[in-house]
Amino acid sequence: MSDKQKILIVDDDMHIADLISLYLGKEMFETKTAEDGEEALRLFTTFQPDLVLLDLMLPGKDGYQVCREIRAQKDTPIIMLSAKGETFDKVLGLELGADDYIIKPFDSKELVARVKAVLRRYKAVPTLTVATPKGAKIARYPDLEVNRTNYSVTYRGENVEMPPKELELLYFLASQPNQVFTREQLLDHIWGYEYVGDTRTVDVHIKRLREKIHDHATWRIATVWGIGYKFEVKV
């Protein structure tokens, strides 16, 4: 049984898809390619990739729709590929749950580096860890518990589903109440120094957190204008 990490490449230009497959094959990844959104979703189920490289401009279901449907099933890392370099397109892709966004044409070495960087971040996240009383990393506030050990969030008595990076960002802020962090500091702490994205990634994740975790009478995720963010606790 192969222990290679699996990459699903989705692009309607098979010349590009084959080139990407060649680049990744040299790095010992196992790959499969899909030409349209429907085929991509079928292969996502059967191939069960560790990461998806997803072109936006696809026949039938476009990349945005494919991203939505994948995100409704799993938190598998997604890197979007597009000739569209406008800020709106990047932000929309990130808001839908993409982990990175690469503009075409791209350098093969950069593509491989980004794939490895995203996989490293996800590999570092355990799918299940049994918490111990002494070793558990838990931030508790009224109506909120963020457990960094077993990757769970309880808000107003109910479990809240979150991708790993959202949870890590929330825990990092909540575990250091009233301390202000710049976007650059949050990128370094949560995504790592090798991350090739920009600070807008932090803004997108904060927006998602606020949609799931609303301001409380005693705490909130606060914006410090011109600087960054903090988990504000009223004393």
Q: Inform me whether the pLDDT recorded for 235 exceeds 80.
A: no
User: What structural domains does the chain harbor?
Assistant: 6-123 (3.40.50.2300), 138-233 (1.10.10.10)
Q: Report the predicted TM-score, pTM, of the whole model to 2 decimal places.
A: 0.59
Query: In the numeric block, which tokens belong to residue 9?
Result: 């490449």
Query: CB of 213 within 8 A of CB of 155?
Result: yes
Query: 157-199, pLDDT tens digit by residue?
Result: 899 999 888 999 999 999 888 888 988 888 888 887 555 566 7
Residue 1 confidence (pLDDT)? 42
The whole-number pLDDT of residue 126 equals 39
Cβ–Cβ under 8 Å, residues 182 and 227: yes
pLDDT at 45 over 90: yes
What is the pLDDT, as a whole number, of residue 92? 76
Query: Tokens for 215?
Result: 């301001």
Most confident of 6-15, 67-76, 111-120, 143-152: 6-15
Average of per-residue pLDDT values in the chain: 85
What per-residue confidence (pLDDT) applies to 128? 34
pLDDT tens, residue by residue, 117-171: 888 766 644 333 334 344 568 888 999 999 988 889 999 989 999 988 899 999 9
Length of the chain: 235
φ, ψ of residue 182 to 5 degrees: the values are -75, 165
Interval 19-30: pLDDT, tens: 999 999 999 999
Report the distance separating Cα 101 and Cα 127, nearest Å.
25
Please give the full DSSP string across the chain, using - where no structure is assigned.
-----EEEEE-S-HHHHHHHHHHHHHTT-EEEEESSHHHHHHHHHHH--SEEEEES--SSS-HHHHHHHHHTT----EEEEES---HHHHHHHHHTT-SEEEESS--HHHHHHHHHHHHHHHHTS-S-----TTT--EEEETTEEEETTTTEEEETTEE----HHHHHHHHHHHTSTT--EEHHHHIIIII-TT--S-THHHHHHHHHHHHHS---SSEEEEEETTTEEEEEE--
pLDDT, position 131: 41
User: What average pLDDT score do residues 200-221 get?
Assistant: 92
